[in-house]
C-alpha cells in the first residue's frame, strides 16, 4: 500500500482538484480525494508526505525513441524507461524506427519483455505502418496489436505515399488504433537542416519550410475524413498546422495531434552558432509558431504533449550541423519545460498540464492510466511544481546528453513516480 498524504490531488479526468490523500492498494487506485485520516494498515504501508506537491495521474508519453534493438549504445529500453520514470512518466510509447524495424509481432514481443525486465515506466511498443518503414507494403497490424502494440507509425520518416496512408487508416479501423504520422512532405523538406527563414538565410543552411509539414497534415486530415480512421499527427511545429487541425476537428474528423515541449518553448534562434543540440525534425520554428502552439495546447486543438525523446551519442552531435542527426532528449525535462513556459506565464494551469501530459494521451492511445478513478491502475506522478533546478545533462538517467536546455534553470520536477502501485522513482530531497 502507498498512501500519498496531503498533496494537491489533481485529476482532470474526474474533475478532481483538492488537497487530500491518494491511497493505492494492490496496484489499483483505492482512493483519491479527501483526507483519509487514520488508515488501517494491512501489510506494508508506505506513507509519503506530499505537502506542497501535486499528485496526479502518471504522465504518459505517446512518442519516444528508445533505440533498442540496434543502438543500445545510445539508449536501451531499460535506461529509457528509467529516464521516463525520472521525468514523471509512468508509461511511454516506443517508436518503431529501431534496427531492425519493429514491424512484426516478434519485435513487439521483444520490446515488451525488455520493458518487463527494466521494471520502471511501462513501455508500449508502436508498430511500423510499413514493412521496414520503407513506405511500400503494410506491416501486419493485427499480429502486432495482438502482441501488444498500441498504435502504428513510420515515425522518423513520413508516409510519402498517400495511397499507403489511406490503406493504413482504413485497415487500422478494425483495431481501433491511431495511425501516427510524421508529417513531412519529403521533396520539400529534402536536405533541410532547420526552419526556413531569416536564420537559415543568414547561416547558409537549407531550410525546411512550414509547408512541408502542413501539406502532409492536411493530406492526413483529408484521408482521415475519407476513411473514418484515426490519424494522430506527431510533433506539430507550425501555426499553419494548428489552423488545419482546428479545421479538421471542427468538421468532426478523427484527428488528434501532439506537440513537443521544445516546439512550445524554443525558437529557431536556438540554432545560432550551429548548435546541433537544437537540431531536430521538425525544426524549431518562429516565435509566432510557438505562440500559436501554446494557444493550441490551451484550447485543446493540440490534444497532448509528447516528448519525441531522441537520444544520440555525444559524438554524433559533435559535428557539422547539416550532417548531425536530428533530435534531443526530452523525458527528464518535459514537465519542467511545460511548467516554466506554459504554467508560470499563466497560459495554462496545472489542471490543463496534467490533462495534456496524462489524461488525454492515455485516452487517445487507449492506454490504462491517465486517471485517478477508483479501481484504475495505480500509475501516479507526484511532482513539485515550484522546484527550481538547473538542467545538467550529465545527471540524466537517459544515456543521451543532447539537450538544448543544458544549463538552463527550469521550474517543476517529478518527486515520485509510481507504476502499478510500486514506487519506481523518487527524487532525492
Interface with another protein includes 188 (CB under 8 A)? Answer: no
Using the rule CB under 8 A, give the single segment among 32-40, 242-250, 319-327, 339-347 that binds another protein. 319-327
Interface with another protein includes 171 (CB under 8 A)? Answer: no
Q: Determine the Cα–Cα distance for residues 98 and 340; give it in Å rounded to an integer.
A: 32
Place of cell 518487463: 116
Q: Determine the Cα–Cα distance for residues 360 and 375; give it in Å rounded to an integer.
A: 19
Residue 193 CB, nearest approach to another protein (Å): 8
Residues 6+ positions from 296 with CB-CB distance below 8 Å? 236, 242, 245, 246, 259, 302
DSSP character string of 183-222: ---HHHHTT--EESSHHHHHHT--EE-HHHHHHHHHHHHH
Place of cell 505562440: 291
The interface with another protein within residues 28-87 (CB under 8 A) comprises none
Q: Judged by CB, which is closer to another protein: 191, or 345? A: 191
Radius of gyration of the chain (CA): 20
Q: Judged by CB, which is closer to another protein: 279, or 356? A: 279
Residues 6+ positions from 361 with CB-CB distance below 8 Å? 59, 60, 61, 62, 258, 303, 304, 305, 306, 367, 370
Of residues 117, 134, 206, 374, which one binds another protein by CB under 8 A? 206
Interface with another protein includes 315 (CB under 8 A)? Answer: yes
Interface with another protein includes 338 (CB under 8 A)? Answer: no
Site size toward another protein (CB under 8 A) is 21
In the set 289, 308, 355, 379, the catalytic residue is 308
The interface with another protein within residues 365-424 (CB under 8 A) comprises none
> How many Cβ atoms from other residues are within 10 Å of residue 157's Cβ?
18
Interface with another protein includes 204 (CB under 8 A)? Answer: yes
The interface with another protein within residues 98-157 (CB under 8 A) comprises none
Interface with another protein includes 198 (CB under 8 A)? Answer: yes
DSSP β-ladder status, 409-419 and 422-426: antiparallel
Q: Judged by CB, which is closer to another protein: 250, or 320? A: 320
Of residues 39, 131, 222, 322, which one binds another protein by CB under 8 A? 322
Q: Judged by CB, which is closer to another protein: 34, or 201? A: 201
Residue 76 CB, nearest approach to another protein (Å): 25
User: Where does residue 14 rank: exposed (0-12), middle (13-18), buried (19+ CB within 10 A)?
Assistant: middle
Residue 302 CB, nearest approach to another protein (Å): 26
Q: Is the link from the previous residue into 224 a cis peptide, with omega within 30 of 0? A: no
Which of helix, strand or coil describes residue 267?
coil
Residue 334 CB, nearest approach to another protein (Å): 28
The interface with another protein within residues 264-303 (CB under 8 A) comprises 273-274
Selection from 270, 244, 240, 269 nearest residue 255 by Cα:
244
Of residues 134, 318, 373, 395, which one binds another protein by CB under 8 A? 318
Using the rule CB under 8 A, give the single segment among 116-124, 131-139, 147-155, 198-206 that binds another protein. 198-206
Q: Judged by CB, which is closer to another protein: 267, or 307? A: 267
Selection from 109, 103, 168, 162 nearest residue 131 by Cα:
103
21 a catalytic residue: no
Contact footprint for another protein (CB under 8 A): 196-198, 200-207, 209, 273-274, 315, 318-323
* Catalytic residue list: 308
Amino acid at each position: 500500500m502507498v498512501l500519498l498524504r496531503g498533496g494537491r490531488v489533481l485529476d482532470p479526468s474526474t474533475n478532481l482538484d483538492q488537497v487530500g490523500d491518494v491511497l493505492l492498494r494492490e496496484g489499483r487506485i483505492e482512493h483519491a480525494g479527501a483526507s483519509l485520516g487514520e488508515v488501517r494498515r494491512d501489510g506494508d504501508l508506505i506513507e509519503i508526505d506530499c505537502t506542497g506537491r501535486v499528485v496526479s495521474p502518471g504522465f504518459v508519453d505517446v512518442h519516444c525513441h528508445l533505440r533498442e534493438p540496434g543502438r543500445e549504445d545510445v539508449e536501451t529500453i531499460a535506461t529509457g524507461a528509467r529516464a521516463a520514470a525520472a521525468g514523471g512518466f509512468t508509461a511511454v510509447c516506443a517508436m518503431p524506427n529501431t534496427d531492425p524495424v519493429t514491424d512484426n509481432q516478434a519485435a513487439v514481443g521483444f520490446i515488451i519483455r525488455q520493458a518487463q525486465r527494466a521494471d520502471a515506466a511501462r513501455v508500449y511498443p508502436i508498430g511500423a505502418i510499413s514493412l521496414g518503414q520503407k513506405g511500400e507494403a503494410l506491416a501486419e497490424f493485427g499480429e502486432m496489436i495482438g502482441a501488444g502494440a498500441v498504435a502504428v507509425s513510420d515515425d522518423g520518416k513520413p508516409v510519402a505515399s498517400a495511397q499507403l496512408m489511406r490503406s493504413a487508416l482504413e485497415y487500422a479501423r478494425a483495431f481501433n488504433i491511431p495511425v501516427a504520422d510524421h508529417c513531412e512532405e519529403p521533396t520539400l523538406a529534402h536536405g533541410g537542416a532547420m526552419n526556413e527563414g531569416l536564420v537559415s538565410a543568414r547561416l547558409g543552411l537549407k531550410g525546411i519550410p512550414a509547408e512541408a509539414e502542413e501539406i502532409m497534415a492536411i493530406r492526413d486530415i483529408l484521408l482521415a475524413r475519407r476513411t473514418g480512421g484515426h490519424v494522430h499527427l506527431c510533433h506539430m511545429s507550425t501555426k499553419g498546422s494548428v489552423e488545419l487541425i482546428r479545421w479538421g476537428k471542427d468538421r468532426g474528423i478523427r484527428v488528434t495531434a501532439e506537440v513537443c515541449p521544445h516546439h512550445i518553448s524554443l525558437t529557431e534562434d536556438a540554432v545560432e552558432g550551429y548548435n546541433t543540440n537544437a537540431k531536430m525534425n521538425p525544426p524549431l520554428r518562429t516565435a509566432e509558431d510557438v505562440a500559436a502552439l501554446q494557444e493550441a495546447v490551451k484550447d485543446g486543438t493540440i490534444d497532448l504533449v509528447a516528448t519525441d525523446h531522441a537520444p544520440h551519442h555525444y559524438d554524433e552531435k559533435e559535428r557539422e550541423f547539416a550532417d548531425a542527426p536530428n533530435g534531443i532528449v526530452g523525458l527528464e525535462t518535459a514537465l519542467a519545460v511545460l511548467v516554466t513556459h506554459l504554467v508560470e506565464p499563466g497560459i495554462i494551469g496545472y489542471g490543463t498540464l496534467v490533462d495534456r501530459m496524462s489524461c488525454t494521451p492515455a485516452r487517445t492511445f487507449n492506454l490504462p492510466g491517465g486517471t485517478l478513478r477508483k479501481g484504475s491502475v495505480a500509475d501516479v506522478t507526484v511532482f513539485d511544481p515550484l522546484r527550481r533546478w538547473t538542467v545538467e545533462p550529465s545527471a540524466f538517467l537517459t544515456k543521451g546528453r543532447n539537450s538544448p536546455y543544458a544549463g538552463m534553470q527550469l521550474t517543476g520536477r517529478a518527486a515520485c513516480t509510481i507504476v502499478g502501485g510500486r514506487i519506481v522513482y523518487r527524487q532525492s530531497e
